[in-house]
Amino acid sequence: MENEKLIPVDQFCKHYNIEFSFINTLTEFGLIQITRIEEIPCIPYDQIKDLEKLIRLHYDLEINVEGIDAISHLLNRVDQLQMEMKLLKNRLRLYENEE
């Protein structure tokens, strides 16, 4: 991963006015992944959007990390089911067009 596609955790925390411990807790729960560059913890840019959602859940809606973990799991499951349903609908259309 290139360094320009990473943002140091301390800069991210300062920008969003959040505690470093919150990021560590999310990492412990496996909700985000942190990359270390020369012992500096960094967040990949592709995780920023998801991390912003987690921040809103925690700080705006006052949901604890355990609740965020459950919500995240359920949202991922919904996404999987929607993709599966789309695939099955496409397969069904193939059979309907054969008639």
Whole-model pTM: value is: 0.79
pLDDT score at 33: 94
Instruction: For the chain, 99 residues long, give each residue's pLDDT as a single digit of tens.
Output: 455 699 999 999 999 999 999 999 999 999 999 999 999 999 999 999 999 999 999 999 999 999 999 999 999 999 999 999 999 999 999 888 776
pLDDT score at 3: 55
Kindly list the domain boundaries of the chain, sorted by start residue. Answer: 3-98
pLDDT score at 95: 83
Q: Where are the alpha helices (DSSP H) in 1-99?
A: 9-16, 20-28, 48-55, 65-98
Amino acid at 98: E
Question: Which CATH number among 1.10.1660.10, 1.10.8.60, 2.40.50.140, 3.40.640.10 corresponds to the domain 3-98?
Answer: 1.10.1660.10
